[in-house]
Structure 1
Amino acid sequence: MMAKVSQEEQTEVLEKTLEKVGNEGWWVWCVFFMASTPGLFNAAHIMSYVFLSHTPTHWCQIDELVATNWTNQQIISVSTIGGNSSTSFCSYYDWNYTYLAQLEYQEALKYTSQSPKPKLIPCKKYDYDETVPKSSIVSEWDLVCENAALRSNAQVSIAIGKFVGGFIFGFIADKFGRKRSFVLSCLLYIVSGPAAGFTQSFLVFTIARFFIGIAGSGVYESAYTILTEIAVKKRRTIFGCTFNMSYPVGYITLAIIAFYFQSWRSLQYAISIPTLFLLIHCWFIPESPRWLLAQGRRADAWQVIQGVEKSLIPDDFFHNSKIGVEGSNKSKSWFKRLMLSMGKLLSIFNNKELCSRIIICYITWFGAALSYYAIALNADNFTANRYMYVALNGLTEAPSYILPLLLLTFLGRKS
């Protein structure tokens, strides 16, 4: 007759088995690959702002002169102050362009140079100096001059989405499982990415970017948590530092893709449609056994381990762990479970030492993120080729994930 095993003994054996599973190199590295590859898409969507929102040189569109055989430079020289095609303009002279269109360019130039200058009026429509029409959201929706401030909303929306997604998917991961959170955020990624490229409205575009930010935050948090809860302690430092290597790889890949897909819509599709590969990750990435154990679902935790190495599972423990698996959590209402989760979240601020560490981390991350994105997304204020600019950002960032490994190994975390 099989001896009854206490829950404490089951938990202890399961913890020891998880440590052995965490040493199964092939399995842990497969999880690492599935957990880190979504970072490629995170990086691409964040940095795509450099290409999607590029502001081309622009000037006022004058339909009467566009209908003639005049060049852009000739139209600019007659209609604007200075007449330099390398400069952007938001206003033009209020000439009688119907009359000027009937003249040859030299005659019109002589007429305007000898006549008193009329008043300047704001542009009603714009022309852009682009090799590919509608190459950016700026030329798509005329986000210049008085509408120039709207351009940054494309990036603000994704940043707000990442902030909101951290709370939403953090709660989902804690209450319903890390894998379920990962799957939901992947599905949101698959839908919102192409939607941003398909829309004809700038408002809908910013909303889609908002959901891209939510999805990116959910994918990152869920995948990172699964990885760290599966890996043994000695490998968590390595995985924690190298997990973000997908970001610089994503930047470099984005620069190459953007070089060949120069229309903003085609670029958006090019970085969004491959998210369909995340469906493979959704199928194969495991639930965190430690989360299952914390929820009292020992049988489910054993099943995850069974998929890695059956020989690690004692038959008697597996049999006994099926008893009382669901625990008391399922008997509670969703509201009580929600309040319990909120209480656990707020409890971390009750500890003075823990609270001070969290605040220090927040301040550190705020300063690091502010300087990081100010440089990474500010290509317009540099004269460099934007493709090289983004690629070099990735190349220079890559060593920053290797250096901490050495520092943590020899100096420790605080030093």
Structure 2
Amino acid sequence: MTKDSAEKSKELIREETYKEIVTNELERIGSGGAFVWTLFFLCVTPNILNGFHVSSYTLLGYLPADKWCNVPELGSTNWTLEEKRTIVEGNTTTNGCTIKDWNYELLSTKTYDEARIYTMEMLASDQPPKEIECNKKGGFIEFDEPDGTFVAEWELVCDRSIQRTSAQMFVSLGKFFGSFTFGILADKFGRKTSFSLGALVYVVSSFICTFTPWYNLFLVGRFGLGAASSGLFYAAFTMIVENVCLKHRSWMSIAFAASYPIGMIFLAIASYLITSWRYLQLTLSVPALLLIFNCYLLNESPRWLITKKRYAQAYKIIFKQRSHYEIEKTDEIISTNTKKEMMEKKPTSLWVKIQEGPLKQFIALFATWKVRKLILTSYFMFCVSSLSYYVTALNAANLSVSRYLYVAITGIVDIPSYILPIILLKYNGRRPTTMFLFILTGTALLLVLVMPSDWIISFAMLGRFGISATYSIVTLYTAELYPTEIRNSALGTCSTWAHVGSISAPYIVDILGQLGWYIPTTICGCCVFVAGLLTINLPETSTVKLSDRIEEVPSESDNTTINTSGKKSENDKY
């Protein structure tokens, strides 16, 4: 049979029937089997890579334990390093950033004992030497671990120390930009398109960070890693939520989030074994090449295709064969197409084109009062969750442990925090579980005010445990609140507000923390508590199907009643 004859032999059916056939089969294969497990594996593995790079700052950019100013004029002497530092630094307390303004050419002609006597006499005189910056005498900073951190390679200390912080700031800015951009791209062009573009940026940025000889280009690579991590995370997470049945959706979405701390544990192990930051960066970059296989094997989200009325493509993915159906063109469809063609012929302004193009999904987030209330509440929950997560992480950094152990402990603490929501969601709905964890976390952070000083770090880690558990449910809950046509845009813009919180966290800790050690945790505790109360305005999503259109979004008063018999209705199936 030729291709033309095969096209002619297709069965004509109504669009509603076509959609029902594809949707029913998606619900069937989404309840378990090869489709579900393949999708889960392909989506969860990239998030382990996110745990590598996004958390690598602590181990790639740590401050060396010791540094000093190397003055070239003293290179010709036979003094030991300790003797040189004694003469150069004198009674300064800047650890090599500033030195004494001696005549080093004169000192280089003396023995150490002679130079020591000379400098002591000068310090006791009426005109002691001034302190000057190390490079003013042609000196340069040396480190005890020159290969272990990029701080040593680019001398990001002293007056350039703020540039060290930029390495983490650029990751946060990248995530801020990427979460918004990739979210809209995923809704407009597809989940796989967004995922593939994120994977490309991720691979390129990883190797830029590995091989660049310039710090500014290194920052560009860090920005790309942050942006790409958002593109990978939210596209993959959305595909799991959209195409897996309710029975597996809860634990799979939380297990997806739990893969992030697994990456952190691997990062700690790798950094302990590899002492050079360049080789460590390369070790973290090579696994990113596996994303090529993910992009090749991953299919487009069938539910997104259904929403875009691309039923033939969805049919091919779900049934693993070409569709033998064709939509029957009714008078209503013909009339709609005619109106659409007439609208396209009408001249439109640039603003209208922008509204109907790049900003269409974003504008849809504020289209109705119900969606507007959901999105504003979600923005606040994400911002508060991220702010509290990073504030508790910064407060807990006072633990007297090695950096390797600290990163590993952080990952280990996060894993059980993702198990708790699975247990809670098994017996409760999304709304009561989210409210409970928010209020519990807020209470724990506020209790820091009345706890003895010995318990502060413990409660900081408890707060991290609680907010990690809350964060995983908030992400799942938010994905279920919004219809398919704007789901990724909602998650993307929510993530943007989350990174407003993560960018603000260090300033709250450093600036407000100087005014009072309790202020950062008190702010977070109050905000988290308010977020818990705001969840009252959200509808329950665990007992209803995912909506596809904005018109189908339920309100808190439209919640489906849960059967007291313990049996699930047909609506509980997906």
**Are 2:411 and 1:397 aligned?**
no
Which of 304, 313, 316 matches 1:291? 304
**Are 2:110 and 1:93 aligned?**
no
TM-score by length of 2: 0.65
**Are 2:331 and 1:319 aligned?**
no
Per the alignment, residue 70 of structure 1 pairs with 79
On the 8 A contact 2:14/2:327 being kept in 1, the answer is no
**Are 2:228 and 1:215 aligned?**
yes
Which of 110, 114, 130 matches 2:144? 130
Q: In the TM superposition, what whole-angstrom CA distance separates every residue of 1:357-378 from its partner, at most 9, and x where no partner exists?
A: 3333322322322232345467
What amino acid does structure 1 have at the position aligned with 2:26? L
Per the alignment, residue 27 of structure 2 pairs with 19
Deviates more, 1:395-404 or 1:133-142: 133-142
Per the alignment, residue 564 of structure 2 pairs with none
Whole-angstrom distance in 1 between the partners of 2:365 and 2:134: 56
Which of 161, 176, 194 matches 1:163? 176
On the 8 A contact 1:197/1:269 being kept in 2, the answer is yes
Whole-angstrom distance in 1 between the partners of 2:377 and 2:95: 44
Q: Secondary structure at the match of 1:157?
A: helix
Per the alignment, residue 375 of structure 2 pairs with 358
Deviates more, 1:378-387 or 1:361-370: 378-387
On the 8 A contact 1:58/1:126 being kept in 2, the answer is no
Per the alignment, residue 32 of structure 1 pairs with 40
On the 8 A contact 1:73/1:83 being kept in 2, the answer is no
**Are 2:129 and 1:118 aligned?**
yes
Deviates more, 1:249-258 or 1:133-142: 133-142
The verdict on how the C-alpha distance between 1:9 and 1:128 changes in structure 2, with shifts beyond 3 A counting, is same
On the 8 A contact 1:49/1:377 being kept in 2, the answer is no
Per the alignment, residue 114 of structure 2 pairs with 107
- After TM superposition, the structure 1 = structure 2 runs for residues 192-211 of structure 1, keeping only pairs within 5 Å, are 192-211=205-224
Q: In the TM superposition, what whole-angstrom CA distance separates every residue of 1:14-51 from its partner, at most 9, and x where no partner exists?
A: 11100011023232122111101111221111111101
Deviates more, 1:107-116 or 1:350-359: 350-359
Paired positions, count: 402
Give how far 1:404 is off.
0.8
On the 8 A contact 2:69/2:140 being kept in 1, the answer is yes
**Are 2:254 and 1:247 aligned?**
no
Give how far 1:76 is off.
1.5
Whole-angstrom distance in 2 between the partners of 1:323 and 1:164: 43
What amino acid does structure 1 have at the position aligned with 2:35? W
Q: In the TM superposition, what whole-angstrom CA distance separates every residue of 1:205-255 from its partner, at most 9, and x where no partner exists?
A: 111111111111111111111121110122211122111111110100001
Per the alignment, residue 180 of structure 1 pairs with 193
Whole-angstrom distance in 2 between the partners of 1:284 and 1:341: 28
Per the alignment, residue 563 of structure 2 pairs with none
Q: In the TM superposition, what whole-angstrom CA distance separates every residue of 1:243-292 from its partner, at most 9, and x where no partner exists?
A: 11111101000011111222222221111121001111011111101111
The verdict on how the C-alpha distance between 1:321 and 1:292 changes in structure 2, with shifts beyond 3 A counting, is farther
Q: Secondary structure at the match of 1:4?
A: strand
Give how far 1:160 is off.
0.9
Whole-angstrom distance in 2 between the partners of 1:58 and 1:322: 73
Per the alignment, residue 6 of structure 1 pairs with 14
Per the alignment, residue 407 of structure 1 pairs with 424
On the 8 A contact 2:10/2:324 being kept in 1, the answer is no
The verdict on how the C-alpha distance between 1:363 and 1:336 changes in structure 2, with shifts beyond 3 A counting, is same
Whole-angstrom distance in 2 between the partners of 1:115 and 1:3: 100
Give how far 1:323 is off.
7.3
Whole-angstrom distance in 1 between the partners of 2:73 and 2:244: 68
Per the alignment, residue 551 of structure 2 pairs with none
Q: Secondary structure at the match of 1:414?
A: helix
Whole-angstrom distance in 2 between the partners of 1:106 and 1:323: 100
Per the alignment, residue 499 of structure 2 pairs with none
**Are 2:156 and 1:143 aligned?**
yes
The verdict on how the C-alpha distance between 1:137 and 1:175 changes in structure 2, with shifts beyond 3 A counting, is same
Unaligned runs of 5+ in 2: 1-8, 330-335, 433-574
Per the alignment, residue 348 of structure 1 pairs with 365
The verdict on how the C-alpha distance between 1:400 and 1:67 changes in structure 2, with shifts beyond 3 A counting, is farther
Deviates more, 1:149-158 or 1:2-11: 2-11
Structure 1 vs Structure 2 CA RMSD: 2.8
Per the alignment, residue 455 of structure 2 pairs with none
What amino acid does structure 2 have at the position aligned with 1:18? L
Q: In the TM superposition, what whole-angstrom CA distance separates every residue of 1:120-166 from its partner, at most 9, and x where no partner exists?
A: 111114433324x2322211111111111111111111111111111
Per the alignment, residue 41 of structure 1 pairs with 49
TM-score by length of 1: 0.89
Which of 281, 303, 307 matches 1:268? 281
What amino acid does structure 2 have at the position aligned with 1:118? P
